[in-house]
Structures are given as C-alpha cells and as structure tokens.
A and B are shown apart, each in its own frame.
With several copies, the nearest count.
Chain A
Amino acid sequence: LLLSGGRARADAPPGAIEYPVQPDPTKEQGRLILDDGGYGSRSQFESEIRWRYPTDSLDSSWSMTPLASGHGIITPSGLHFERHHGGIPTIDPATHTLIIHGLVDKPLRLTMADLRRMPSVSRIHFIECSGNGLTEWEKPTLKTVQGTHGLTSTSEWTGVLLSTVLKEAGIQDSAAWILAEGSDAAVMTRSVPIDVAMNDAILAYAQNGEALRPEQGYPLRLLLPGLEGNTHIKWLRRLEVSDKPFMTREETSKYTDLMPDGTARLFTLEMDAKSVITFPSGAMKLPRPGFYEISGLAWSGRGKIVKVEVSADGGKTWTEAALQEPVLNKSHTRFRMPWIWDGNEAVLQSRCTDETGYVQPTLPELVRVRGTKSVYHLNAIQSWHVAANGEVTNVHA
C-alpha cells in the first residue's frame, strides 16, 4: 500500500500531510478513505511540536512536550518528551534481546517475541525527567509551560511486569539492586532498587495501544512508575541483579542533588507531587476580561492526586479545583476551575496534594532546604502573572 493522496511537504507542519482546503466541503467528495495507506496523521492545521532546549551537544539533548496545547491526560505519542544521551538508535526488533543475569538462578535470554507471549499489564503512567524545570531555580527563565514543565508526559504503557521476568529467572536472596542497561550509543545505565523492580516496574513494549515509539525506546524500555525519567532505561538490552548499586555516571555525576552545604543526595528516585496550570500559561495573551477555564495537570510519583487548589492572587486565597476522572495512580491528573478574569492583574498558581498527604511546596520553601544548585527535582508551585493587558508571563511570586 502506498500513499496515494497528499504527501508530507515543506509547507505542512511535522506529522501532517497537506491537502487542498475545500471551499465548500459539502459540495464535493472529500479525500478517499485510506489514501493515507491505513495509518493516519494529524491535521495540517495543527503545528505544535516538541521543543529542544538548546544544549550545546545535539547528541545529548532533550525535547519538551507542548503542554499548553494538550488536552486530557494522554500525551500524543508524537509529542512525548524525549531525553537522549546518544541519539535515537534504530533497532530491528527481530534481533533485539533482553538478557537477565547476575544474582539469579537461571540467567535468561528473551526475544521480543518471547516477551510478547508473557503475561502482560497495561497502565497509564506519567514519566517526568527529574531535570524538569532546571532552568527555573534562580529566576524565571523560560517563557512557556513547555519550557518550564515540558519534560513530563503520560501514556498508556503495556508490557510484562519486571517481577514476572525476575520470578522466571529466580532472584536470589541477596539481590538488592538491578542494573538496567540500554543499547543506545550511551549504553545508558541506572541501578534500580529491588523493591521497585518487584513492585510495579514494567518491561514496556507498547505505548498508547501500539508499539513503543523509537524515541521512547523501541522495541523495549523499562518503566518505573513514579521514579525519575532517567531510570526508565530505553532500548533495554540487559538486567543484572546485584547486592549493591552500580554507581553509574548517571547516578553519581548526574541525577544527584547538590545541597547548599556541598553534600549531594544520592538516588533521589521518587518524583514528588507537582502541578502546573497549562491554561492560561506563559506567553499567552488573554484577549479581554471574561470567562476562562483554568486547566492544568497534577501528578505524583508516590500515588494518586487527591486535591488541587488554585489561587488567582499569588497564593493568598485558594479554591479547590475539579479533578477530571479517572484519577489514576502515578499518572497525570487533569484539573479544571472556572474563572472570571476581571481585567486586573492576577497571579495564577496551582498546588496539589497526593494520597500520602504531601503538599506541593512553594519555591522559597524548597530553596530554603535545597538552595538553587541541586538541578533536579524542582517541584515547586508555578506562578503565572496576568497583566492588565492580558499578557501571561512566568514569574517567581
């Protein structure tokens, strides 16, 4: 089957195919069914894209999800944020294998076909890079919610519970950590505590109902619900069970959190509860006073969100927002609150609480303990200033 109709062209946004706009679509037949070859693409009028923070290295870089134009809780797979340390490998699933070894009774070699035959689970979970917001510690730096918060996305992931495979291999009593290793150019590695591995970790081969996207680790990635994104090793090729952590570069040189006293926290794995208002948000302009539905996302690496409060006066007063069902464990949760903008200056904030009782902190509260040099795990309340002319900007308030 070939594409018979329109084609990707320079004038269509990425991911779209350009077709002639019909002057009156009720007066002529539309384009034919399956002229897309049987796999559709987005409308040529939709142009939001992931955005790359301009790191010096293109090989080790990240791109961020356009949260401002998101809807609901699912992130379209084409807009899922990315973090690569050695580019995106192209791997034939027919030759890819996963090897499990170390402190196990039976070292195992599994093909992708093997994994697809094992008992599976599907779960809707967010992933967030713990570097999400790293530009925002000292002063408001990026303009949009894509820049300040775009290193998180939510998908429905399907795969085999890691515990299923570990039980098949037979883990030994002394097992305490597992090294997960990717087959990208960085041969990315992280150590995973055994209790996480035996709890809800997933060897994921599918995302949003189809195979993983290449950027998300095709054909196989590790999913560690609630843990910092860097640990969700993509293009997974190896799992080594050990009694000790491996102290890889990504868990020592990076992804450790430098405190004001010069010590650094190791293995800060869980993502604390966090929320952000995505509408209205930075770099938007409200055209006039009137009704607006404030909307945003809240999530916690420690369970479900139980409450989101919204303030329009910079945190002086708070109102509880509505949580859109389903409210899922370790997933983005959409919140909404009706708001009438009276045309005066306002500062919009959201604050979430998760089922452990943890309340999202203010930035001063966080900085008081952690200083501004810890890079990772900035989960403070975000403030958007609405000017009298309707312009929305990123502020520290």
Chain B
Amino acid sequence: QTETSASDAAAARTVAALPEPVGNLEEPMPPSPVVEDAESDAAPGLDASFGIGRPATKEEIAAIDIDVMPDGSGLPEGSGTYAEGETVYVEQCASCHGDNLEGIKETGAPALIGGRDTLATDKPLKTVESYWPHASTLFDYIHRAMPLHAPGSLSADEVYAVSAYILGRGGILPEDAELNAQSFKEIEMPNADGFVEDPRPGAM
C-alpha cells in the first residue's frame, strides 16, 4: 500500500460542491409593481381607498360606453329609414342572414324575423320579431357585434336604418318608419310581456 489517501491532492470543497456563486448567476428577475399614474399619489389607507388607479376621464368613458338600455339611454344621435336600412341589409347582412331574414344555416346566422305564435309549440322559433322583449337590445347588439366580420363598423345612422328594416320586415314597424333616439323608445315589441322572473330556488 504505497498511497494511503488522496486527501492532500483533493481540492477543498464546501457544502454540496456547488459552483462558486460569484458574479451574475442569471437568475431571472421577477416583475416589480408598476405605477403609471402620478395623480393618485394621495395618502392611501388600508381599508377604504388604496390610492390605486386614477379617475377615468369623461372622454375615456364616452369612448367605450356604447350600451343602449330599454329606456333608451345610450341611444346616439342620428336616424335611419327602412329604405336606407334595406340597402345596409342587402349589402352587409343578407349574405349571412338571408334575403328574407330567414337565417342561413351554413353561416350560423339565425333568422331575424318570423316565429310569432311558435313559442308555446314544439318547434319554437325565437327571433327578434317573435321573442325579443326590447328593441334597445337590437340597436345595442347590431352596433357592437354586427356584421360579424366587421363588428363596430356601422355608423349610428346605419344601425337606426337596419333596425328599422328588420323591425319593418318583422311587421313591428311600418315600412315608412324612420328611427332616431326619440322614435326608438316608442317601439312596442310583440313579446315584451313574455318574460317571467326566475322562480328558483324553491321551484324546479
């Protein structure tokens, strides 16, 4: 036994033989909180106000406050007629909803009219005409979501017009109707009284 132990030759090592953590180990840096707004620098409290965020400006709200409610609030200025609406519809809606507003299965676009007196049958057809309780919903929805591939692209005039057309084709408005913020509020929907409150819990 010439060599007894290599302990002299062995480099001294500390725990876990870790590489010396010198310099930058390239630990990924965690995100820091970000404060964008100088305005809310007000002294914050623990319970009520955290001093976080800032007041929304009137302009910021107006830019996205697009909803229209049953009482007519939110209806913009402008107007449109059945005749104008027919043009809008033929050009921008008929390809999906059909020449007669009957819907085209392949596009997924539902019928917009028809279906009155079918709700209690075993083939209910729920459309704007037969089912919708409020005309405001029609303006609101077309304005925000239609035409499907260019949502939000219609002017207020165009939405008034195509609404007049759809409601006219559905026999809810006369063909000479012109819609604006005032006349819109007066529309009576056929199924306005067709809705009931949720009886649950307590009923099935």
Contact = CB atoms under 8 A, between A and B. Distances in A.
A88 to B, nearest CB: 15
Contacts of B199: 265
A248 B141 contact: yes
Contact of A287 (B33, B137, B200): B33
B144 A146 contact: no
Contacts of A253: 126, 128, 131-132, 137, 141
Interface string B27-43: 11111111110000100
B123 to A, nearest CB: 9
A48 to B, nearest CB: 7
Nearest to B197: A266
Contacts of A267: 197-198
A118 B19 contact: no
Interface stretch (A216-224, A345-353, A362-370): A362-370
Interface stretch (A4-12, A255-263, A310-318, A328-336): A255-263
B30 A283 contact: yes
B61 interface: yes
Contacts of A344: none
Interface in A220-269: 237-238, 240, 242, 244, 246-249, 252-253, 256, 258-269
Given A56-B108, A253-B137, A375-B16, A187 B152 contact: yes
A128 interface: no
Contacts of A55: 18-19, 108
B198 A264 contact: no
A185 B33 contact: no
A253 B117 CA distance: 16
Interface stretch (B48-56, B79-87, B177-185): B48-56
Nearest to B24: A143
Task: Name the residue in A179, A187, A340 with the highest tally of chain B Cβ atoms < 10 Å from its Cβ.
Answer: A187
Nearest to A266: B195
Contacts of B187: none
The binding surface of chain A is classed by DSSP as loop
Contacts of B171: none
Interface string A110-122: 1101101111000
Contact of B148 (A59, A68, A375): A59
A15 interface: no
B109 interface: yes
B204 A369 contact: yes
A249 to B, nearest CB: 4
A356 interface: yes
B169 interface: no
A144 B49 CA distance: 30
Interface residues of A, number: 108
A98 to B, nearest CB: 9
A29 to B, nearest CB: 6
Count chain B CB atoms within 10 A of each CB in A167, A247, A361 and give the residue with the most: A247
A54 B25 contact: yes
A365 B204 CA distance: 8
A172 B55 CA distance: 16
Given A252-B133, A265-B199, A369-B203, A107 B56 contact: yes
B196 interface: yes
B78 interface: no
Contact of B195 (A185, A256, A372): A256
Contact of A285 (B32, B49, B64, B65): B32
B69 to A, nearest CB: 6
Interface string A172-202: 0000000101000111010000000000000
A185 B151 contact: yes
B106 interface: yes
A66 B28 CA distance: 9
Contact of B52 (A114, A135, A283, A285): A114
Interface string B141-179: 100110011111100000000000000000000000000
Interface in A366-392: 366, 368-370, 372-375
A163 interface: no
Contacts of A240: 65, 67
Given A147-B25, A246-B69, A252-B137, A340 B44 contact: yes
Name, among A69, A111, A134, the residue most crowded by chain B CB atoms within 10 Å (CB to CB): A111
A29 B148 contact: yes
A189 B30 contact: no
B137 A27 contact: no
Most B-side CB within 10 Å, residue of A119, A179, A256:
A256
A262 to B, nearest CB: 3
Interface string A87-118: 00000000000011100001111110110111
Given A117-B50, A269-B198, A272-B201, 14 more contacts: A27-B150, A56-B108, A109-B60, A110-B52, A248-B67, A248-B140, A258-B119, A266-B196, A266-B197, A266-B198, A287-B34, A287-B35, A290-B51, A366-B204
26 contacts: A27-B152, A49-B28, A53-B18, A56-B19, A68-B31, A107-B55, A108-B53, A108-B54, A134-B16, A134-B18, A142-B27, A143-B27, A144-B29, A186-B145, A187-B151, A189-B144, A237-B64, A238-B64, A247-B136, A249-B145, A253-B128, A265-B199, A282-B30, A288-B41, A340-B46, A373-B124
* Shortest beta-carbon contacts, A-B, top 7: A57-B108, A262-B120, A68-B30, A262-B119, A56-B108, A113-B34, A109-B56
